């Protein structure tokens, strides 16, 4: 609920220290009560119209973020460690998984700052802390989105053109470097105050790019970053996975027609296998697509609403939830992209016995051995 605050009329209130003698109910009434005048620019007047959240909000979020931090460090740390040190897993395709895990860890790197800010009930480090927090989140978020698109492209090439479409290590390295370059511009520009700026949001314990200032530069920046970091990666993801599924359908159709011409019933089992592959890939594609939407659609909606929509709908709670979704997805990524990998689970079983993983021993035969050899050579 949007409350009237005289701050909106008279400007930011003076900082009230603990020794001022004012009653706690007055001192803590509105957001920004504990921000000194020299840092008042970090608090947009929109947030000063809301009551400061109770301590139970900060403590509750701190507990949730502590769990997410542990999950992210363990999950993404294991992915980077095992995929980087296991010879059988050092393939071109897995380079994207490692890069995604690095981006996810960047998201986790800002969580300790958030935990401290929760107990201080303000942004730690003021402007410098705000910039560091926002850059970590921005690089991670944009890197995750474009890396998901790169993974979609790699899977499309690998499955649709298994002979001559598989990326080699040099090609994969170039694409990974491009994902980092992709995530850089819209994080450097606000930092240098060239275009856009970083500011606090929600409970004033987190920071992101400014989407509330009412000027054309801010609106143009929000629209540009929306297209760059959300729309374009989303188009890539939808296109490559739709082409992948179409390729599988065409292959299945070809097998059916060939079986019909040859009048051979033995191809029925192959059709079943192809149908199973199609469904499995469709589920993975839908999961990736769903996670991408779950992570960034709420945040994109909040930013667009702040720049172009009804700002009265943007409460501190409603703007904290999208950030929580992004953090949660960064913890789930290792399970989606890595834990379903049989060889990865085998390595986890060997190196991390405390996880209690019991992976059955793979059945080796001449055909599978030859296949693994060919894959290693291609990679």
pLDDT of residue 224: 94
Helix, strand or coil for residue 209?
Answer: strand
Q: Which two tokens stand for residue 132?
A: 């560091």
pLDDT means per 10 residues in the chain (379 residues)?
44 45 52 87 89 89 93 89 85 88 91 92 91 93 90 84 78 94 93 90 91 90 94 92 82 72 60 55 70 85 89 88 85 74 77 67 45 43
- Asked if 106 and 292 count as a contact pair (C-beta separation under 8 A), the reply is no
Distance CA 92, CA 88 (A): 11
For tokens 């790197």, the residue is 109
Helices 316-337 and 55-85 pack at an angle, to 10 degrees, of 20
pLDDT of residue 351: 75
pLDDT of residue 372: 42
Cα 98–chain centre separation: 14
**Topology, domain 59-352:** Rhopdopsin 7-helix transmembrane proteins (1.20.1070)
Q: State the CB neighbour count (10 A cutoff) for residue 268.
A: 12
């Amino acid at each position: 609920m949007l409350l009237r605050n005289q701050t909106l009329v008279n400007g930011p209130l003076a900082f009230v220290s603990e020794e001022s003698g004012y009653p706690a109910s007055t001192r803590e009434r509105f957001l920004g009560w504990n921000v000194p005048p020299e840092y008042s620019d970090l608090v947009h007047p929109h947030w000063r119209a809301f009551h400061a959240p109770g301590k139970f909000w900060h403590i509750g979020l701190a507990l949730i973020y502590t769990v997410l931090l542990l999950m992210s460090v363990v999950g993404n740390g294991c992915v980077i460690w095992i995929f980087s040190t296991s010879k059988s897993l050092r393939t071109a395709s897995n380079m994207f998984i490692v890069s995604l895990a690095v981006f996810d860890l960047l998201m986790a790197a800002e969580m300790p700052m958030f935990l401290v800010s929760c107990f201080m009930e303000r942004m730690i480090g003021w402007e410098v802390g705000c910039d560091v927090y926002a850059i970590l989140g921005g690089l991670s978020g944009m890197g995750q989105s474009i890396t998901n698109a790169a993974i979609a492209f790699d899977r499309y090439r690998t499955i649709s053109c298994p002979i001559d479409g598989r990326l080699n290590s040099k090609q994969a390295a170039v694409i990974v470097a491009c994902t980092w370059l992709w995530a850089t511009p819209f994080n450097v520009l606000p930092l240098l105050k060239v275009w856009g700026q970083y500011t606090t949001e929600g409970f004033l314990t987190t920071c992101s790019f400014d989407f509330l200032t009412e000027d054309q530069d801010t609106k143009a920046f929000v629209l540009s970053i929306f297209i760059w970091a959300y729309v374009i990666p989303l188009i890539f993801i939808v296109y490559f996975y739709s082409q992948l599924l179409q390729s599988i359908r065409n292959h299945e159709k070809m097998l059916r027609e060939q079986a019909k011409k040859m009048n051979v019933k033995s191809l029925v089992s192959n059709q079943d296998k192809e149908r199973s592959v199609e469904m499995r890939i469709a589920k993975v594609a839908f999961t990736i697509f769903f996670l991408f939407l779950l992570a960034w659609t709420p945040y994109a909606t909040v930013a667009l609403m702040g720049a172009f929509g009804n700002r009265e709908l943007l409460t501190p709670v409603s703007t904290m939830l999208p950030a929580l979704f992004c953090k949660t997805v960064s913890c789930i990524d290792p399970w989606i992209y890595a834990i379903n990998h049989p060889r990865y689970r085998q390595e986890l079983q060997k190196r991390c016995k405390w996880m209690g993983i019991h992976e059955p021993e793979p059945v080796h035969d001449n055909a599978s051995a030859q296949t693994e050899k060919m894959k290693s050579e291609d990679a």
